Amino acid sequence: MRRSTPRANPSPTRPPRDGASGSEEVACRVAETRQSRVAETRKGRVAETRKGRVVETRKGRVAETRKGRVVETRKGRVVETRQSRVAETRKGRVAETRKARVVDRKRLVKAREKVAIGARILASRLSGRPRPFFVQYSLLNGCNARCAYCNSPNREDRPLALDDHLSILGEFARLGAARIKFLGGEPLLVPDLDRLADEVLRLGMRAAIVTNGFLVRARLDLVRRLSEVVISIDGDEDAHDRQRGAGSWKKVMDAVELCARERLDFFLSAVVTRRSAGQVPWLLETASRLGVMVNFQIPQFNPEMYGAAARSWMPDPEEIRRIVAEIVAAKERGAPVLFSARSYRTTLAWPDFSLERVERPGEPSPCSAGRYFLQMEPNGDVYPCVLHVGTFAPKNAVRDGVEAAWRHAGEHSCFSCYNTWLNENRAIFDLHPSVLGNFWKNYLTGRPRI
């Protein structure tokens, strides 16, 4: 039976150094009571009670109880329980639950996929052998929203058959496509989208959508499988509903909050008009709260895609420059702006916002649109980018073949435009250092979700 008072156990001693007694060289000391036990050596200390155990060394400390475990070192701290785990270092903090651990493993796989895409882009560009890496794949013109600056719902719909889509996707994979981004209209209205997205993933490409968010909850099983989701939102409830229809903001916010809770890889996309010019701070605050990025676009006015009314939603030139300067300043402060400051400065420096782009007929375009990224319409027509719809004479992916249609799309004479997203894509494939750095930080590497 143990004694009720602490006792020192006999312990081995090391031979004394010259001039030192053996009592100064005790290697281990143990003190025990009915309630606890403490063992000490030169390397550390162990304290045990009925409730738990603490181990301390010069390098760190471990405390264990029935409910969990705490590990502390100079570099950080980890707290573990049956339900969760929190890891903290000087660089940040990660909180995990049983559910989130599974998701984070998936995000690790996605991060590896993204790094591989970056390596393929670099190899293609340095070798001078183009590939249609990013495909804007429009499935339909129909939409369940009526945005004031969009003409898509008014355009004729001639969608392709499922077998045609599956064949086209296989050809894009063969040609080296890395991401298929499904567009509309509203792509979640397409019944076969599950099949198409699964085929894209099976072929080793990333499957993405751009959505108004209305059907995200209804088709959550599909949305969870997607590599990337872009959700359109123009600001707070008043601003968004004025541009996209009464009641639409509540639907999109439900989708946004749901994607955040599900820890999906998603972005926000905003069209900045004369009526939503003051919404930049709200959008940045919302993106920060959700732990995601947001991109901002000035309206386009290609009449085929955006309709005659789009011009009336354009801010005046001075207001455009003020808005874009505000976005650049926010980006440079570290705000969650998706595109690079360089691409927004290209928009800021545009001399005449009554012109969408500059054509030089007969001269080969220096732009990578049509060679490294492209736009395919619902009927299979392939364009260099969305700004060419209605003015460029396309070839068709079904009638002419995917490769012939893609190579033809690179034969345009557009030299420049003010569209920030298109300029960002162009600079990525031009291997511009600051844009590549932004691309790596915001897209290729995994971003934490809160």
Q: What is the DSSP string of 132-193?
A: --EEEEE--S--S---TT--GGGS---PPPHHHHHHHHHHHHHHT--EEEEESS-GGG-TTH
pLDDT in tens, 316-343: 999 999 999 999 999 999 999 999 999 9
Provide the pLDDT confidence category of residue 383 given band limits of 50, 70 and 90. Answer: very high
Over residues 19-39, the pLDDT tens digits come to 444 444 446 788 788 888 888
Residues in contact with 333: Cβ distance below 8 Å, sequence separation at least 6, in sequence order = none
- Residue 369, pLDDT score: 97
Residue 230's alpha-carbon distances to 97, 105, 173, 267, 426, in angstroms, are: 26, 22, 22, 5, 20
The mean pLDDT value for 55-83 works out to 77
Q: pLDDT by residue (tens digit) across 75-93?
A: 777 767 777 776 666 555 5
Tens-digit pLDDT profile for residues 122-144 = 899 889 999 999 999 999 999 99
CA–CA distance, 224 with 97 (Å, rounded to integer): 18
- The pTM for the full model equals 0.76
Segment 99-125 shows an average pLDDT of 70
Q: Name the residue type at position 29.
A: R
Task: List pLDDT tens digits, range 188-237.
Answer: 999 999 999 999 999 999 999 999 999 999 999 999 999 999 999 999 99
pLDDT (tens digit, 9 = 90+) per residue, 271-299? 999 999 999 999 999 999 999 999 999 98
User: How far is Cα 340 from Cα 346, in angstroms, rounded to an integer?
Assistant: 10
Give 38's Cβ-side CA count (13 Å radius). Answer: 9
| Mean pLDDT over the full length of the chain | 86
CA end-to-end distance (rounded Å), the chain:
54
pLDDT at 108: 57
Number of Cβ within 10 Å of residue 223's Cβ equals 24
How far is it, in rounded angstroms, from Cα 312 to Cα 274? 8
Phi and psi at residue 364, in whole multiples of 5°?
-65, 135
